[in-house]
Structure 1
Amino acid sequence: MTLGQQDLSDVGVLIGCALRPKQRPGADSDYRTLLGRYREDAEFHNAVTSVLDGLDLQVLAAGELGLVLGARRESVFAYRLTDLPNVSTVAHRLLVGLISAAIAAYVFPVPADFDDDRVRWVSVDEIERFVRDACDRLKRAPEPQMLEDVSFEEAWRTYDRLSPGYKADRGKGQGRRSAASSTYWVANVLNWMVDQGLARLAPNRGPETFQLLERFRIQVGELAGNATYELLAARRRGDHTPVVGT
């Protein structure tokens, strides 16, 4: 059977649903129906895959979460660090990249953890202490860490220069974080993850605590093999052997 105009329109509707990270098939009957068709109708499945391929997107999972997509680096739909609020300089982008890798390494220190669907929580303070400890260890290392990503050293040294606590912007009162505070950047990344449907606030677990969602586990599974992730994951495991890039 050849797909007709309505079928192709349905392909677009399904992809549109998948591109809305907080939309779920359980709450949207049209999304649920089209997802079922994607899973059961080979011709419709192939049409969706072909369109996604043209957009430099790929399906990472298709289940209760809906159609979870991953973007190739060149895709217009790829996450850009500049998409985060208040990220305007190279130093800011380095900080966000480091913190994003640190969150993944903190909760998934072993690649096999990416296949474990148990619920995980993190807090701003936990991630800040984890990155801070990694910076301290790197400063004390007898030899510098050699990684393929030469920006890693600049990233951790930039983080290390930040104040770990609250540092108020001039004239804005006490207790307000500024970009000179490392906790500001950790909170910035985690709150952005909430907006992307990767995490949700979990105030019953403690102040500034977040539950990491299944979509995060699926998407960051691609980080396995990333040099920064590997070094931070080794720190999380307690393995302090230097990581040397090829």
Structure 2
Amino acid sequence: MTLSQRDLADVGVLIGCGLRPKLRPGADSDYRQLLGRYRTDTEFRNAVDGVLEGLDVQVLSESDLGLVLGVRRESVFAYRISDLPNVGTVNDRLLVGLVSVAIAAFAFPARAEFDDDRVRWVSVEEVERFLREVCERLNSSPDIAGRQEESFEEAWRSYDRLSPGYKADRGRGKARRSAASSVYWVAHVLTWMVDQGLARPAPARGAETFQLLERFRIQAGELAGNATYAVLAAIRRGDEGMEGAS
């Protein structure tokens, strides 16, 4: 059977839904119907996958929470750290990248855990404390630090120089965290993850605590071969000597 013009329009609609991370099939009947068709209609599925391939995008998951899409670096839809608000310098981008990988390593300290769909929570305090541990470990293990990429060393040393506690901006008006404090960057990344449908606030579990969603677990799984993830995950596991982190 040849797909009609209407069918091709539906391909576009489904891809558009997948590119909206907060949209859920349960809340959108068109999305729910097209997701069901993607699962059962081979021709329709091939058409969707073919268009995504041309856009350098692939389907990582097709659960009841919707399509989880992964984009290649060259894709027009590729996320770039510079897209975050208030990230204007190279140092800012290094900090955001480090915090993002640290959240993945803290919640999923072994590659096999990316296949475990149990719910995970993280808090700003936990991630900040973990990154402080990372900095202490790397400061005391120059052999490990020296084997990593220069950008990783710049990132963790920049984090290490930040104030570990709350530091308010000066000036009139309500006090707020300053970019000179490490907790600012951890909270900044986790708040952005909420906007991207990767996490949701979980105040019942404590102050500044977040539930990591399936979309984050699946996308973070792409980091499993990343050298920075390997180092941070080894520290999280407490591996002596951090074997395999090189």
TM-score range, shorter chain: over 0.9
Equivalents in 2 of 1:132, 1:148: separation in Å?
A: 18
Quickly say closer, same or farther: Cα 1:244–1:147, change in 2 above 3 A.
farther
**Alpha-carbon distance, 1:176 to partner:** 1.6
Q: Which runs of 4+ in 1 moved over 6 A?
A: none
Aligned residue in 1 for 2:6: 6
* C-alpha displacement of 1:240: 3.5
Residue of structure 2 in register with 1:75 after alignment: 75
Counterpart contact for 1:124–1:187, Cα < 8 Å: yes
Whole-Å separation in 2 of the counterparts to 1:232 and 1:169: 30
Normalised to the residue count of structure 2, the TM-score between the two structures is: 0.96
Seen in structure 2, the aligned counterparts of structure 1 residues 243 and 83 have a Cα distance that, compared at 3 Å, is farther
Q: How far off its partner does 1:149 sit?
A: 2.8
Q: CA deviation at 1:146?
A: 3.6
Structure 1's 81 and 224: CA in aligned 2 closer, same or farther, altered over 3 A?
same
CA deviation vs aligned residue, 1:82-124 (integer Å, no higher than 9, x gap): 1111000000000001000000000100101001111100000
Equivalent position of 1:225 in the other structure: 225
| Structure 1 position 225, deviation (Å) | 1.1
**SS of residue matched to 2:59:** strand
Evaluate the alpha carbon distance shift between residue 6 and residue 60 of structure 1 in structure 2; reply closer, same or farther with a 3 A threshold: same
Q: Secondary structure at the match of 1:103?
A: helix
C-alpha displacement of 1:174: 7.1
Q: Which runs of 5+ in 1 are unaligned?
A: none
Aligned to 1:158: 158
Give distance in 2, aligned partners of 1:243 and 1:85: 37
1:55 equivalent to 2:25? Answer no
- Equivalent position of 2:99 in the other structure: 99
CA contact (8 A) 1:37 1:44 kept: yes
In the alignment, structure 2 segments of 5+ residues that lack a partner are none
Q: Which residue of 1 aligns with 2:193?
A: 193
What is the aligned partner in structure 2 of residue 214 from structure 1? Answer: 214
Structure 1 match to 2:29: 29
The number of equivalent residue pairs is: 246
Equivalents in 1 of 2:117, 2:172: separation in Å?
42
Q: What displacement does 1:221 show?
A: 0.4
In the alignment, the residues of structure 2 paired with residue 5 and residue 174 of structure 1 have an alpha-carbon distance, to the nearest angstrom, of: 55
Equivalent residue runs for 1:142-153 within 5 Å = 142-147=142-147, 149-153=149-153
- Opposite residue 4 of structure 2, the aligned amino acid is G
Q: State how far apart, in whole Å, the 1-side matches of 2:244 and 2:116 are.
A: 28
- Check whether the contact 1:197–1:215 (CA below 8 A) recurs between aligned residues: yes
TM-score scaled to structure 1, two decimals? Answer: 0.96
CA contact (8 A) 1:55 1:76 kept: yes
The question of whether the paired residues in 2 share the 8 Å contact of 1:146 and 1:244 is answered with no
Show CA shifts across 1:24-61 (max 9, x none).
11111110110111111111000000100111100001
Contact 1:18–1:66, Cα closer than 8 Å, also in 2:
yes
Could you say which residue in structure 2 is the equivalent of 1:140?
Answer: 140
Q: CA deviation at 1:188?
A: 0.3
Name the aligned partner's letter for residue 196 of structure 1: Q
Alpha-carbon spacing, 1:33–1:50, altered in 2? closer, same or farther (3 Å): same
Once the two structures are TM-superposed, the CA of residue 70 in structure 1 deviates from its matched residue by: 0.3
Task: Give the aligned partner of residue 65 of structure 1.
Answer: 65
What SS does structure 2 have at the residue aligned with 1:99? helix
Change (3 A) 1:15 1:147: farther
Alpha-carbon distance in 2 for matches of 1:102, 1:208: 17
